[in-house]
Structure 1
Amino acid sequence: MRDALGPLFVDEDFAVGEFEEMYADLGRPGVSPALLVMVTVLQFLHNLSDRDAAVAVADRISWKYALGLELEDTGFDASVLCEFRARLVAGDRADALLTLMLERLKAAGLVRAGGRQRTDSTHVLACVRRLNRIECLGEALRAALEEIARTSPGFVVALLAPGWDERYGRKVETGRLLRRKNASALKLAEQIGADGRSLMAAVDADPTAAWMNDLPQVRILRELWDQHYETTRTGALRYRDTGELPPSAGRIRSPHDPDARYSTKGRPGADTVAWTGSKAHLTESCDEDLPNLVTDVHTTPATEPDTCATTPVQDKLIGRDLKPGEHLTDSGYPSGANIGASLERGITLLAPVTVATGRGARNATFTPKDFPVDRHTGTARCPAGATSISMRPKKNGLVRVAFARADCVPCPIRARCTTCAPHLGRSLEIHPEPIHTARTRMQTEQDTPQWRKAYRARAGIEGTIPQAVRGPGLRRARYRGLAKTHLQNVLTGMALNIRRLGAHFDPNPKPDRRHPSHIHTLCAQHNIAATPA
């Protein structure tokens, strides 16, 4: 790759744009940022720690060749890598780093606008242990006490009471704290709640301790107590039931990573994946005459559906002058708003559109596709031949189509129609133009052989995610916080590009190292070809 493209980064790149304020003008010169970027990408490519990556710079000839270093170069201290990543996170420069790489690849003709690109997502586990409710509350109180004790130990001494050392002296585990006789989870939760309230009351009562409210762990403590406890009319603290908690999208799951969220995906049963962390969306080019390279990495909270990522991903691709002609995704990405936004951008969103959900999927009832709409007259016709009596826009952006009671009540096929009271006329909601027409067209096209042939290219992204998992370890966050996790995901995408560029320019590609099975060997010996697709 270095022989074909030369250095992908130069130091002058880090003096302009988003990187302009990355380094101060005064002081001792730092290590070359262009060198540190390549070292960090190679570090993620081989899934190395900071210390191992620094040793590799000093010891591995292959690294020295890729980095353009002399054989006598002794490298740098491992702490430099941590400081460099902190500079990237502080200015939210992760996306700019990928953009810089793609500009070099675009100039070399390896990526281009107007082609095909595909997107898919995977879960990322947060860099924290899994906690139940009581452990989360206890850990939040312990972390707040530790943070205050580091700067003002005398303030904490006045609050210490019998049992605090056992509960908050080391990490909180319910299995350890509930071993005592007559111990119950509810009593422990109430005791932790009372201890936390006494700490917050002491901070509020002391004017000289107001600065403690600005400590990160104290802010998290107050938010958790608001989520899990409530004060009754008598002034007592009540531990909320599970059904009274806020939605998972707003609930803190660990005081050590307030951005981590609990979510599930997949069908109920064996296919369901449950995790606490975030979600990574990878987008790559898939033109037949070019290598498949990662063009965008998007990180979202775990609870955010894939439909929320479609438009931001397209916006970032357009900002990099890599607008795709066709954007291939699975059925989780398209929505009415995304279809409309893609039309405005001139992007063909190639994705399966769900025809029926809920009751419609179970009972094979009619869908909006079965109701032809005449926009000129402002009417729709139902499968039984009746014409709607009104078509009005709603506040949520949809259009409500209503039919007369005289047509719906005696209708012989009303069991397959939308639900409502038996004595009322039926109604349905459709998207406004041109979204409704585009959605209907997509539903019709996805049943054709031509659409299935074009959609086969999306399957390649299913191999990209395992490649990012097996090597760089995409599904396990190294750091805490959504910003740092996003930086890790971007560096993982850049590492995939390095690997694929190396394979693309390799004049002597390595043979398949997999050990052939006996059947495979027999088929090869007897010249038995695979079944044509």
Structure 2
Amino acid sequence: MLAAVRNLNRLEFVGETLRAALESVAVTAPEWLASWMPATWQEQYEARMDSYRLPSDENERMQLTWRIAADGYFLLNAAFAATAPGWLRQVPAICILRTVWLQQFQRTITDERQEVTWRGRDELPPSRARITSPYDPDSRSAVKRGSAWDGYKVHFSETCDPPESGRPHLITHVVTTDATVGDPLVVDEIHDRLEVKHLLPSEHLMDAGYISAELLLTAPSDRGVRVIGPVRPNTRRTVQAAGYGKTSFIIDWDTRQATCPNGATSRYWTEGLDNNQRPAIRIRFATETCAPCPARAQCTSSRRYGRQLTVRPQEQDAVLERVRAEQATEEWKAVYAIRSGVEGTIHQAVKATGARRTRYAGLRKTALAHVLAATALNLIRLDAWWTGQPLAPTRTSHLAKLDLAA
């Protein structure tokens, strides 16, 4: 879900943030701004920041950057001065300017001068906290499967009764988040809302991105919901094929030790959290144990250290291995194939309601728009059901229909 804003480079972004703040103050406190603003600012910040208006020379671009940064600090100092109206510092555009300058710049002030520099990549706040546009402070940047975007995520839940039931597929809940919120984090909210509406299903088919070991364990016991969805492979295919995948290691949970296929035992067992802040156990074999092993090349790509395994706590690890075995069966695949219908829902939402890009600024308005879009889709589907219009068949390309055996 793309935000209703332009995609800006870093220089355009800070320049447009300052311009937006000046525009806002020019409306809310015109006399105060006119009493001290340099005349050159009118020409410099009159038009929106566009790459084709900006200098192409790198030195000139850097000079412009530092001028914009200095002007932004000048405006902030004026707005937070004791002589400025107290309410001015509460103007949203001023608050956004202050936050963006804190996130993007570093300023060093000495007795003689002030020095302003860009924050380095490692010094920037995480994406979940970083503003991407002065016109939509709720929008966030994210990357998924190689695709990057600024904006939001929308999660649809719908019924998926078999065709012989005679019931239409209707959207039962919609969740909207900023783009950085991980899919597993919304599942509890979805189940909570469905339970309140007495629509909690006995089986819930989900994409792999939503599935976690904790969910597979807790959903059946806490809510009576069987979660069905694929879990990711536990190791690289080349290692698995060579017989050195994680399932080939024997884990003794009592002694907190693992044994490899060649009989070597691990030395280190460290409990902690993974990158997603979920419980994980890291098991490591000693370097001197793995170094002379003839199967080292098939087992690990590390040249300095021994083999490492990352596993979940015992109950979670067991349920993951069980689901991995189940999802390889034809019975499981037939059940999970029902979920493919939600891809059609996403396509319908994009085509019929323009859900690829929000029309509004802000998370609350965008979330409301998604609820209205889901309502519209339900009305379309109910109309088709009432008038006896069947579901469209899955489209197959002419190329796929060719009989190559002929």
Q: What's the counterpart of residue 129 of structure 1?
A: 6
TM-score, reference length from structure 2:
0.84
Query: Deviations 1:111-138 (Å, cap 9, x if unpaired)?
Result: xxxxxxxxxxxxx111122222222222
- Whether contact under 8 Å (1:330, 1:352) holds in the other structure is yes
Matched, 1:199 2:75: yes
What amino acid is the match of 2:371? V
Query: Deviations 1:353-394 (Å, cap 9, x if unpaired)?
Result: 11146xx35655744333233445655432223455675633
What amino acid is the match of 1:411? C
Over aligned residue pairs, what C-alpha RMSD do you find? Answer: 3.3
Aligned identity (percent) is 38
What amino acid is the match of 1:322? L
- Whether contact under 8 Å (2:285, 2:306) holds in the other structure is yes
Q: What's the counterpart of residue 361 of structure 2?
A: 480
Equivalences for 1:156-305 in 2 at 5 Å?
156-178=33-55, 184-234=60-110, 235-240=113-118, 243=121, 244-266=123-145, 272-288=146-162, 289=165, 290-305=167-182
- Whether contact under 8 Å (2:130, 2:140) holds in the other structure is yes
Once residues 207 and 130 of structure 2 are traced to their aligned partners in structure 1, the CA distance between those partners, rounded to angstroms, is: 28
TM-score, reference length from structure 1:
0.65
Equivalences for 1:520-531 in 2 at 5 Å?
none
SS in 1 for 2:85: helix
Q: Which runs of 5+ in 2 are unaligned?
A: none
- Whether contact under 8 Å (1:311, 1:341) holds in the other structure is no
Once residues 187 and 92 of structure 2 are traced to their aligned partners in structure 1, the CA distance between those partners, rounded to angstroms, is: 33
What amino acid is the match of 1:399? I
Query: Deviations 1:463-510 (Å, cap 9, x if unpaired)?
Result: 11111111111112111101110111111111111111122222x538
What amino acid is the match of 2:389? P
Equivalences for 1:37-52 in 2 at 5 Å?
none
Q: 1:488 to 1:377 in 2, by over 3 A?
A: same
Q: What's the counterpart of residue 445 of structure 1?
A: 326
- Whether contact under 8 Å (2:239, 2:299) holds in the other structure is no
Q: 1:132 to 1:490 in 2, by over 3 A?
A: same
Equivalences for 1:83-162 in 2 at 5 Å?
124-162=1-39
What amino acid is the match of 2:127? S
Once residues 263 and 200 of structure 2 are traced to their aligned partners in structure 1, the CA distance between those partners, rounded to angstroms, is: 43
Residue 262 (structure 1) shift: 2.3
Once residues 242 and 379 of structure 1 are traced to their aligned partners in structure 2, the CA distance between those partners, rounded to angstroms, is: 41
Q: What's the counterpart of residue 231 of structure 2?
A: 353
SS in 2 for 1:161: coil
Higher relative contact order (CA 8 A, sep 6+): 1
- The one of 256, 270, 280 equivalent to 1:398 is 280
Q: What's the counterpart of residue 313 of structure 1?
A: 190
- Whether contact under 8 Å (1:402, 1:426) holds in the other structure is yes
Residue 440 (structure 1) shift: 0.5
Once residues 194 and 313 of structure 1 are traced to their aligned partners in structure 2, the CA distance between those partners, rounded to angstroms, is: 46
Once residues 155 and 433 of structure 1 are traced to their aligned partners in structure 2, the CA distance between those partners, rounded to angstroms, is: 65
Residue 332 (structure 1) shift: 1.7
Once residues 307 and 389 of structure 2 are traced to their aligned partners in structure 1, the CA distance between those partners, rounded to angstroms, is: 64
What amino acid is the match of 1:368? K
Once residues 444 and 512 of structure 1 are traced to their aligned partners in structure 2, the CA distance between those partners, rounded to angstroms, is: 33
What amino acid is the match of 1:447? A
| Number of corresponding residues | 387
Matched, 1:464 2:341: no
Matched, 1:509 2:385: no
SS in 1 for 2:43: helix
Of the structure 1 ranges 325-334 and 241-250, higher mean CA displacement relative to structure 2 is found in 241-250
Residue 224 (structure 1) shift: 0.7
Q: 1:375 to 1:320 in 2, by over 3 A?
A: farther
- Whether contact under 8 Å (1:310, 1:334) holds in the other structure is no
Q: 1:456 to 1:182 in 2, by over 3 A?
A: closer
Residue 455 (structure 1) shift: 1.3
